[in-house]
């Protein structure tokens, strides 16, 4: 049953006319204002005469929302109480955001809605600015070349950017609100599991490298702890690691070449020098030259092999 009210009711007068929030009573079928309080007159800029005789509820709503308004009134016609956020327009054309509470009432025999209005424009503008700021942050996080994820205190994923999808080969939808080790138990065996827990427990920023065999990737993680959990930046450093491996292999080859130069070449070279010295002191006849020449040839061949081996190693190192 709708609430029966009229201006002769003392409690209605106090609750309606002396209410600090704007209030009005609107006839459902005609959208005409049947009563307004002083707070509504002050807030919306229309005088009492204009409210009651010159405008209807349609004047309070933006033009592009008229159909939505009519559909809403039709839908709530028999509802007892509803709460809803709406957009209103003041007499000066300024748009405000409001939260309304609407009651089904009978006012002097007319089927009406009594509405209490709470202006939430300031809060709405703050919310819009906050949303815009969050959108900008999100846009930045989605465009950076680092993987970026956030985790709550139970290490469940709360954010997972596009680069994280690529590096860790996991779609955002699959991992949100879960832990990595729920989806992929092998993460428990990796250092990343221990390091995330350590950073969270000790509130310490840490940086570490992790090889993930299942992805055949090296990943560098930087973990920042916070009151709500962890923020983690990471990069795929597989290319860098491969470069380091190649440098290490080249350095090893160069060490071997240096060893050959300092040790193996000395032997045949010393033999050659010794043979030359002995030839200088020996008679220069065929009988005495035969054996030294054989030894000289063997040492020269040995030296030639060693030099060819050095050249081969150098060529491989430089590739």
pLDDT in tens, 208-233: 999 999 999 999 999 999 999 999 99
Helix (H) or strand (E) holding 10, with range, is helix 10-17
Using an 8 Å Cβ cutoff, are 229 and 152 in contact?
A: yes
Residue 9's region, left for phi above 0, alpha for psi from -120 to 50, else beta, is beta
User: Which residues have C-beta within 8 Å of that of residue 220, sequence separation ≥ 6?
Assistant: 207, 208, 209, 210, 234, 235, 237
pLDDT in tens, 12-35: 888 899 999 999 999 998 999 999
Mean pLDDT is lowest, of 37-46, 93-102, 169-178, 179-188, for: 179-188
pLDDT in tens, 269-317: 666 666 666 666 666 566 666 676 677 777 767 776 777 777 676 666 6
CA-atom Rg of the chain in angstroms: 43
Task: Report the Cα–Cα distance between both ends of the chain, in Å, rounded.
Answer: 91
CA distances (Å), origin 53, targets 56, 57, 92, 127, 214: 8, 12, 18, 36, 76
Task: Indicate if the pLDDT at residue 51 is higher than 80.
Answer: yes
Which single residue is written with the structure tokens 């440098």? 247
- Indicate the average pLDDT of the chain: 85
Q: With H, G, I as helix, E, B as strand and everything else as coil, classify residue 150.
A: strand
Average the pLDDT over 47-53 and give the result.
Answer: 96
Using an 8 Å Cβ cutoff, are 82 and 101 in contact?
A: yes
Cut 0.75: pTM above it: no
Average the pLDDT over 166-177 and give the result.
Answer: 93
Letter string b/e over residues 142-153, b meaning 16 or more CB atoms within 10 A of that residue's CB: eeeebbbbbbee
């Amino acid at each position: 049953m709708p609430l029966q009210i009229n201006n002769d009711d003392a409690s209605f007068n106090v609750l309606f006319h002396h209410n600090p929030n704007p209030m009005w009573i609107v006839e459902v079928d005609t959208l005409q204002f049947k009563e307004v309080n002083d707070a509504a007159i002050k807030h919306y800029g229309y005088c009492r005469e204009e409210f009651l005789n010159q405008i209807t509820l349609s004047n309070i709503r933006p033009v592009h929302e008229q159909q939505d308004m009519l559909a809403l009134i039709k839908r709530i016609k028999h509802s007892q109480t509803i709460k809803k956020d709406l957009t209103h327009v003041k007499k000066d054309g300024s748009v405000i955001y409001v939260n309304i509470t609407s009651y089904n009432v009978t006012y002097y025999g007319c089927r009406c809605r009594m509405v209490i209005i709470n202006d939430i424009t300031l809060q709405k503008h703050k919310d819009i600015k906050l949303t815009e700021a969050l959108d900008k942050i999100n846009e930045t996080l989605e465009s950076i070349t680092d993987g970026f994820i956030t985790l709550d205190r139970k290490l469940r994923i709360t954010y997972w950017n596009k680069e994280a999808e690529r590096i860790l080969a996991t779609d955002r939808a699959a991992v949100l609100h879960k832990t990595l080790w729920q989806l992929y138990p092998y993460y428990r065996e990796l250092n990343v599991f221990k390091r995330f827990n350590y950073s969270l427990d000790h509130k310490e920023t840490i940086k570490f490298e992790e090889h993930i065999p299942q992805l055949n990737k090296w990943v560098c993680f930087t973990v920042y702890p916070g009151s709500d959990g962890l923020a983690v930046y990471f990069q795929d450093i597989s290319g860098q690691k491969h470069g380091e491996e190649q440098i290490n292999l080249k350095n090893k080859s160069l060490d071997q070449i240096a060893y050959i130069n300092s040790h193996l070449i000395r032997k045949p070279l010393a033999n050659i020098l010794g043979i030359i010295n002995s030839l200088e002191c020996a008679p220069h006849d065929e009988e005495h030259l035969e054996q030294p020449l054989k030894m000289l040839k063997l040492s020269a061949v040995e030296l030639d092999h060693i030099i060819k081996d050095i050249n081969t190693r150098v060529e491989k190192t430089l590739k």
